[in-house]
Amino acid sequence: MQNGDQHYSMEDETYTDIDGKAISLECQSHSGFCREFTVSSAKVSIGRVMAYTCAVWLSAYIIFFVTENTAVLSSAIIITLVGMMVHIHFVKVDHETLLIIGSLGVQVSSSYASGRESTDFIEMGKIKDIVINEAIHMVRKIKDMVINEAIHMVRKIKDIVINEAIHMQTVIYYLCILLKDPSDPEAVSSVVPLFQSSKPRLNCLVKVYKSCQEILAKC
Amino acid sequence: MVLKIFFPQCCNKADSGLLVGRWIPGQNSAVVLAVIHYPFIPGQVKQYIHQMRGQSGVDLTVLGSWSMPKEGQEGMESFLRDLSTIFPQGQWLQLSREMGKIGFRCHVLTRDQSKSLFASQVAPIVPYIRHLLLTRAHGVFGTVCQSEPLFFLDKYDDGPVKMTHWQSEGREGSIIVELMKQASTPVCLLTTWMLTLWTSLCSSRILNMRPMRFISSKLSTCLQLSYRTEHLQTVCSPTRATAHNHFMRKANIFVSFFVDVSLGLLLVSWMYRENRIGKLANTLVPAADHVAKELEELLQWLMGAPAGLKMNRALDQVLGRFFLYHIHLWISYIHLMSPFIEMILWYVGLSACLGLTFALSLLSDITALLTFHIYCFYVYGARLYCMTVYGLSSLWRLFRGKKWNVLRQRVDSCSYDLDQLFIGTLLFTILLFLLPTTALYYLVFTLLRLVVVMFQGVLHLSVDFINSFPLFAMGLRLFRSYRLAEGVKFRVLCEEPGTPLHLMMDINPLKVSSVVQTYRTPTYSCYPKDSWLALCKKLFLGELIYPWRHKTTKID
């Protein structure tokens, strides 16, 4: 418990993302109008890292055995190291944070496995609303290859209709911020999707959505 | 709405005094710019603020009071509250901080009724104002930038008012930058004078005659020279850059020019050691000979039965002999030039002192000159093939009884006379059977031409890259990232209960990937202007391709 803050993480409910992997949600309420939500995805699994490294080095050793060229081995080492550094610095997201400060704005930040943080702040004047959007996520498994296409339809959470007649498709939900142009307050100028790497499921999103709406209603 | 207070971090440790700043009406927030310390005479403070308001144009007022009581100053609170009567305001802020604690307490007194708002309704924000000023980021802080005159006096100055503000902890400066600023004016004047001389020379009548103009528009070295002149003119203009974009562009051009010249000097010093120029010149003529010999062998192969295809003997021999004669001419020309090559190369290589880009453009031009015969062969082959294809398409339409209507741009049916049909069909057959021969020659020479074009393209792309890459902006982003701001970011400071919410505001620097896009120096881009499909279509029809043509308008 922090001083003066309410800090609770949902230990009794386990959240998963749309692929079934376990994620965790942490909500921190700093004040009546300031809340912070952190969704953490699974860490880099050591088993996969070892598997990839062994595969690459084994194939490099086989090539060396055939061609007797030592450059193959050094290039394999360099490739593995560079690939790992690129992966943890640019690809693997550790946790994503949403900080909502009433009457000031919303800050979205994602933190990568290497510690790099990428932050974006949106002023309250530009925010029209925070909603949960529904997307039809067409997943076709062709020999374990997954092809994704998303068709966006904007509807508020009350009007969700899940069409179960569509074969081999899943409906995914994502939380997003609708932005408005200050000159035209009625039109939605763009959409900023949140928690894109962690992709939590609806139960997690609903909690975040309710908290955000409470704060947005106050201002 | 929640009341927001923007408070500079350095005033956190300041002694008690008056808060001076500005209210932002629409957003219910206040920006604190400075703290005026005791002792002060209220009349003098009012006068000073009035003066500052006139000088900077910012709506400065006394916002309230700041108290950080040290030992023996317990009666401060009531004294400060009484001050609100001296400086009549709509809302009077009372910020206080106790020694040893991190958080502030805040009370707001409104004019009509003195009441203190609940702590939860106020959210002071503590920005790192020092760096924010340097980037002029965030609309709210336009106020801070405009209030520059306010920051000339300090608490250490002997004046009527003693203040603490964001510059009290010192401004960022560097001796090298100051020295460069001093030295820049005479250097700029000198360079501008030399550049005007040079441009007047270039635009003189002798050099502007048609043939010279044509040649200089084709040689990439001359183009590079003109770009560099333009760049230098931008950098050395005596007016100071006021807008941020203008300043960054000047700095980027200057840094890239500097790096270019130093790389060029490095290259020159490497090349002129150990008589490498002589060695290069000695290998040039045998290399040209070798290329010519290879071409001759290629033509002999085409004149025989290339890849098992049976060519039309007569046409084959004619074309083959025609090209062989050209090669013979070319080789004689190269042998004529060979005694002078070393000297030419030596003097021309010195121009690489002007920069690496010049060396690369020179290389591109030398390649173009040495492979001129390949270019000629390509043009002959393409023209021949083009004529064959057009003839064939038109005669094919005749064969089917149709005609191309130029007016309507479509194919119409047409009735031909018998002798027209007869001759047309005859010509069609002839052209059809000659097509494989011409097509083969065209294919071979186009491939050779494409190889040369690829090589030149790589050189041009690297020249373009050196010209346009914003080195200064990239360096600034890596080492002084607070100077290039994309926005702001907030961090919650954990505080004691009962105090309002404290947030630390910091600069969100520009993403590295968008630095290049934002600060690229515009150049005459020489990227391929045709898409792959259009290129293939042109190749098929036999139209001449110039994939690296320079665009006439600047690409930003």
Chain A residues in contact with B27 by the CB 8 A cut-off are: 103
Residue B187 belongs to what H/E stretch?
helix B175-202
Q: Which of B120, B488, B503 sits opposite A32 (nearest CB)?
A: B120
Q: Mark yes or no for CB contact B495/A3 under 8 Å.
A: yes
- Taking the CA of residue B250 and the nearest CA in chain A, the distance in Å comes to 29
Structure tokens at B188: 């700029």
Report the residue of A1, A6, A26, A34 to disrupt the B interface, i.e. the one with the largest count of B CBs within 10 Å. Answer: A34
Lowest mean pLDDT among B55-59, B64-68, B348-352, B439-443: B55-59
Each residue of B286-307: pLDDT tens digit?
888 888 889 889 888 888 877 7
Taken in order A52, A58, A61, A63, is the CA torsion positive or negative? negative
Q: Is B443:B311 a contact under the CB 8 Å cutoff? A: no
Position B431 pLDDT exceeds 80: yes
Q: Is B361:B368 a contact under the CB 8 Å cutoff? A: no
Q: What is the mean pLDDT of residues B444-462?
A: 90
Lowest mean pLDDT among A5-19, B57-71, B299-313: A5-19
Peptide bond into B39 cis (omega under 30): yes
Find, in chain A, the residue whose alpha carbon is nearest to that of B488: A121
Q: Which of B489, B496, B500 sits opposite A121 (nearest CB)?
A: B489
Q: What is the mean pLDDT of residues B534-541?
A: 86
- The pLDDT assigned to A191 comes to 87
Most confident by average pLDDT, B131-140, B276-285, B463-472: B463-472
Lowest mean pLDDT among A23-37, A153-167, B93-107: A153-167
* Percent of residues, chain B, with pLDDT higher than 70: 79
Q: Would you call A5 an interface residue with chain B, using a CB distance cutoff of 8 Å?
A: yes
ipTM of the prediction: 0.73
- The pLDDT assigned to B204 comes to 79
Report the residue of A119, A120, A124 to disrupt the B interface, i.e. the one with the largest count of B CBs within 10 Å. Answer: A119
Position A7 pLDDT exceeds 80: no
Lowest mean pLDDT among A176-180, B117-121, B460-464: B117-121
User: In whole angstroms, what is the distance from residue A72 CA to residue A52 CA?
Assistant: 17
Each residue of B413-427: pLDDT tens digit?
888 889 989 999 999
User: In whole angstroms, what is the distance from residue A197 CA to residue A93 CA?
Assistant: 7
Position B50 pLDDT exceeds 70: yes
Structure tokens at B9: 């971090």
Residue B287 belongs to what H/E stretch?
helix B276-303
Q: Is A72:A56 a contact under the CB 8 Å cutoff? A: no
Question: In B304-312, which residue ranges form alpha helices assigned H by DSSP?
Answer: none
Mean per-residue pLDDT of chain B = 78
Report the residue of A2, A101, A108 to disrupt the B interface, i.e. the one with the largest count of B CBs within 10 Å. Answer: A101
Q: Would you call B512 an interface residue with chain A, using a CB distance cutoff of 8 Å?
A: no
- The pLDDT assigned to B442 comes to 92
Q: Would you call B339 an interface residue with chain A, using a CB distance cutoff of 8 Å?
A: no
- The pLDDT assigned to A47 comes to 92
- Its pTM stands at 0.76
Higher pLDDT, A6 or B294: B294
SS3 A150: strand
Q: Which of B2, B488, B494 sits opposite A5 (nearest CB)?
A: B494
Lowest mean pLDDT among A108-112, B24-28, B369-373, B550-554: B550-554
* Percent of residues, chain A, with pLDDT higher than 70: 79
Running DSSP on this structure, what letter comes out for residue A44? P
Q: Would you call B105 an interface residue with chain A, using a CB distance cutoff of 8 Å?
A: no
Side-chain-side CA neighbours of A106 within 13 Å: the count stands at 24
Strand B502-509 to strand B485-493: parallel, antiparallel, or no bridges (unpaired)? antiparallel
Lowest mean pLDDT among B104-113, B185-194, B378-387, B392-401: B104-113
Q: Is B284:B341 a contact under the CB 8 Å cutoff? A: yes
- Model confidence at B169, pLDDT cuts 50, 70, 90, reads low
Position B452 pLDDT exceeds 50: yes
- The pLDDT assigned to B77 comes to 65
Report the residue of B4, B101, B126, B503 to disrupt the A interface, i.e. the one with the largest count of A CBs within 10 Å. Answer: B503
- Model confidence at A10, pLDDT cuts 50, 70, 90, reads very low
Q: Could you tell me how far CA B194 lies from the centroid of its own chain?
A: 26
Q: Would you call A1 an interface residue with chain B, using a CB distance cutoff of 8 Å?
A: no
Distance spanning both ends of chain B, measured CA to CA: 43
- The pLDDT assigned to B262 comes to 93
Distances from the Cα of B120 to the Cα of A100, A144, B105, B553, angstroms? 15, 53, 11, 58
Q: Mark yes or no for CB contact B2/A30 under 8 Å.
A: no
Q: Is B165:B150 a contact under the CB 8 Å cutoff? A: yes
- Taking the CA of residue A119 and the nearest CA in chain B, the distance in Å comes to 7
User: In whole angstroms, what is the distance from residue B203 CA to residue B234 CA?
Assistant: 19
Q: What's the one-letter identity of residue B35?
A: V
Mean per-residue pLDDT of chain A = 78
- Looking at chain A from residue 56 to 75, which residues have their Cβ under 8 Å from any Cβ of chain B? none
Each residue of A191-211: pLDDT tens digit?
888 888 888 888 888 889 998
Position B113 pLDDT exceeds 50: no
Lowest mean pLDDT among B132-136, B328-332, B439-443, B480-484: B132-136
| b/e burial code for range B481-513 (CB count within 10 A of at least 16 → b) | bbbbbbbbbbebeebeeebbbbbebbbbbbeee
User: In whole angstroms, what is the distance from residue A120 CA to residue A110 CA?
Assistant: 9
Rg of chain A over all Cα atoms, to the nearest angstrom: 22
Q: What is the mean pLDDT of residues B24-31?
A: 75
- The pLDDT assigned to A171 comes to 76
Q: Would you call A31 an interface residue with chain B, using a CB distance cutoff of 8 Å?
A: yes
**Phi/psi at A5 (5° precision):** -110, 150
Chain A residues in contact with B514 by the CB 8 A cut-off are: none
Find, in chain A, the residue whose alpha carbon is nearest to that of B497: A4
Q: Mark yes or no for CB contact A4/B123 under 8 Å.
A: no
- The pLDDT assigned to A1 comes to 42
Structure tokens at B34: 């400075």
- Model confidence at A2, pLDDT cuts 50, 70, 90, reads very low
Position B391 pLDDT exceeds 90: yes
Higher pLDDT, A58 or B68: A58
Taking CB atoms and an 8 Å cut-off, how many pairs form between chains A and B? Answer: 59
- The pLDDT assigned to B386 comes to 93
Higher pLDDT, B394 or A136: B394
| b/e burial code for range B151-182 (CB count within 10 A of at least 16 → b) | bebebeeeeebbbbbbbbeeeeeeeeeeeeee
Chain B residues in contact with A36 by the CB 8 A cut-off are: 492
Q: Could you tell me how far CA B260 lies from the centroid of its own chain?
A: 15
User: In whole angstroms, what is the distance from residue A154 CA to residue A130 CA?
Assistant: 12
Q: Is A135:A152 a contact under the CB 8 Å cutoff? A: yes
Position B445 pLDDT exceeds 80: yes
Q: Mark yes or no for CB contact B4/A107 under 8 Å.
A: no
Each residue of B93-102: pLDDT tens digit?
777 777 766 6
- Taking the CA of residue A1 and the nearest CA in chain B, the distance in Å comes to 11
Structure tokens at B68: 């950080």
| b/e burial code for range A177-208 (CB count within 10 A of at least 16 → b) | bbbbeeeeeeeeeeebebbeebbbebebbebb
Q: Which of B27, B490, B494 sits opposite A3 (nearest CB)?
A: B494
Q: Would you call A6 an interface residue with chain B, using a CB distance cutoff of 8 Å?
A: no
SS3 B52: helix
- The pLDDT assigned to B556 comes to 43
- The pLDDT assigned to A60 comes to 92
Position A213 pLDDT exceeds 70: yes
- The pLDDT assigned to A164 comes to 32
- Taking the CA of residue A204 and the nearest CA in chain B, the distance in Å comes to 23
Distances from the Cα of A130 to the Cα of A217, B27, B329, angstroms? 11, 21, 76
- The pLDDT assigned to B1 comes to 63
- Taking the CA of residue B120 and the nearest CA in chain A, the distance in Å comes to 7
* Percent of residues, chain B, with pLDDT higher than 90: 10
Q: Would you call A219 an interface residue with chain B, using a CB distance cutoff of 8 Å?
A: yes
Q: What is the mean pLDDT of residues B390-418?
A: 88
SS3 B527: coil
Position B12 pLDDT exceeds 50: yes
Q: Which of B28, B125, B487 sits opposite A121 (nearest CB)?
A: B487
Q: Is A110:A118 a contact under the CB 8 Å cutoff? A: yes
Position B172 pLDDT exceeds 90: no
- The pLDDT assigned to A148 comes to 32
Most confident by average pLDDT, A195-199, B243-247, B551-555: A195-199
- The pLDDT assigned to A162 comes to 34
- Model confidence at A61, pLDDT cuts 50, 70, 90, reads very high
